[in-house]
């Protein structure tokens, strides 16, 4: 059985490492991206089932990330947004993107991964 690939898009490297460690311990293959261009490169290379993405502070990057959601859905990739700013919840809700406020617990990370199983990435 193929392992599930998850992508962590997080600018805080310590937090990205924490998320990756928890998810790797639960059996996932985890990739990390610090920039949107890194994320897009990884999406073209691996069958990513789930992206856990920090909401960028830069408005242009935020718009680019959120606009990727429709394309991701067609590929069977789920996007989840995390942010320390609860005001982002309304924006994500309007775009039908799951939103979680930081900090995420280990249990929440694992539940997110388990609720987005491997899909066919043709």
**Topology of the domain comprising 25-114:** Rossmann fold (3.40.50)
pLDDT surpassing 60 at residue 122? no
Tens-digit pLDDT profile for residues 6-15: 999 998 999 9
Instruction: Report the relative pairing of strands 48-54 and 78-83 from DSSP bridges.
Output: parallel
Identify the band that residue 117 occupies on the pLDDT scale cut at 50, 70 and 90: low
Convert the pLDDT of each residue in 47-106 to its tens digit: 999 999 999 888 888 899 988 998 898 988 999 999 999 889 999 999 999 999 998 999
Distances (CA, A) of 80 to 1, 18, 51: 24, 17, 6
Rounded Cα distance between 116 and 60, Å, is: 28
How far, in Å, CA of 43 to CA of 104, rounded? 23
Q: Average of pLDDT values for 18-32? A: 94
| pLDDT given for residue 119 in this prediction | 46
pLDDT of residue 3: 77
pLDDT at 120 over 50: no
- CA angle, 34 then 39 then 44, to 5°: 155
Q: Is the pTM of this model over 0.85?
A: yes
**Cα–Cα separations (whole angstroms), residue 24 to 32, 81, 96:** 12, 19, 27
Domain extent listing, the chain = 25-114
How far is CA 12 from each of CA 3, 33, 34, 83, 92, rounded to the nearest angstrom?
26, 10, 8, 12, 21
């Amino acid at each position: 059985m193929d392992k599930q690939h998850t992508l962590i898009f997080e600018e805080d490297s310590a937090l990205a490492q924490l998320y990756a460690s928890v998810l790797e311990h639960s059996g996932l293959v985890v990739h990390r991206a610090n920039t949107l261009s890194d994320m897009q490169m990884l999406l073209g290379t691996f069958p990513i089932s789930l992206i856990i993405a920090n909401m960028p502070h830069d408005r242009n990057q935020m718009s680019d990330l959120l606009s990727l959601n429709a394309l991701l859905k067609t590929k069977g990739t789920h996007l989840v947004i995390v942010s320390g700013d609860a005001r982002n919840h309304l924006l994500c809700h309007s775009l039908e993107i799951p939103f979680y406020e930081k900090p995420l617990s280990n249990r929440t990370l694992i539940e997110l991964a388990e609720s987005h199983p491997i899909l066919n990435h043709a």
